[in-house]
Amino acid sequence: MRIGTGYDSHRLVHGRRLIIGGVDVPFEKGLLGHSDGDVLCHAVIDALIGALGAGDIGQHFPDTEKQWKDVSSMLLLRHILELVHSNSYEVAWIDAVVLAERPKLAPFMDSMKAVFAGAGIPASAINIKAKTNEGMGFIGRGEGIAAQAVCLLKAIGNRQ
């Protein structure tokens, strides 16, 4: 078994779509990022990479490379899941939390789990929560959104 943690945050800005967990969430602002800025997906990716001991998301998908500009973070996740499987592991469990003052994300949780399932993480192997920051800090002031994730990988096949 291997455990990894991930964290990501992005600034909210006008003129961008808000994508969280692969879902287009209706809101007046979106997250600024080199890709689509999906903080939840990025935190999950970083947790997976951490469990593999393979660096971090910036090493795999540098913001200096044009091929990753405005790309769907679910595509990045699929690449990392291929890396997980090629190292003889599979996702046993992911627990994640999105920290956002607004918008309310509860109505989108099932859709997010379905998008993760479509990318290769079974809906039965991921838990997603949303919390506010009680008006404190950059999240509480509505300046940005953050996410944290923890993952557990288990060996498959003959891996010891």
User: In sequence order, what are the residues at sequence separation of 6 or more whose Cβ sits closer than 8 angstroms to the Cβ of residue 86?
Assistant: none
Q: How far apart are the first and last CA of the chain?
A: 9
Q: Whole domain around residue 150: which residue ranges?
A: 2-155
The model carries a pTM of 0.95
CA distance 77 to 81: 6
Please say whether the beta carbons of 39 and 2 come within 8 A.
no
In a domain, 138, yes or no: yes
Please say whether the beta carbons of 27 and 40 come within 8 A.
no
**Residue-wise pLDDT tens for the chain (160 aa)?**
999 999 999 999 999 999 999 999 999 999 999 899 999 999 999 999 999 999 998 899 888 888 788 889 999 999 999 999 999 999 999 999 999 999 999 999 999 999 999 999 999 999 999 999 999 999 999 999 999 999 999 999 765 5
In a domain, 135, yes or no: yes
Q: Output the pLDDT for position 79.
A: 96
In a domain, 144, yes or no: yes
The tokens for 73 are 């973070």
* Three-state secondary structure call for residue 71: coil
In a domain, 114, yes or no: yes
Total tally of structural domains belonging to the chain: 1
The DSSP secondary structure of 106-160, one letter per residue, reads: GGGHHHHHHHHHHHT--GGGEEEEEE--TT-HHHHTTSEEEEEEEEEEEE-TT--
In a domain, 25, yes or no: yes
What would the pLDDT profile of 43-80 be if each residue is shown by its tens digit? 999 999 999 999 998 899 888 888 788 889 999 999 99
In a domain, 106, yes or no: yes
In a domain, 160, yes or no: no
The CATH number of the domain where 38 resides is what?
Answer: 3.30.1330.50
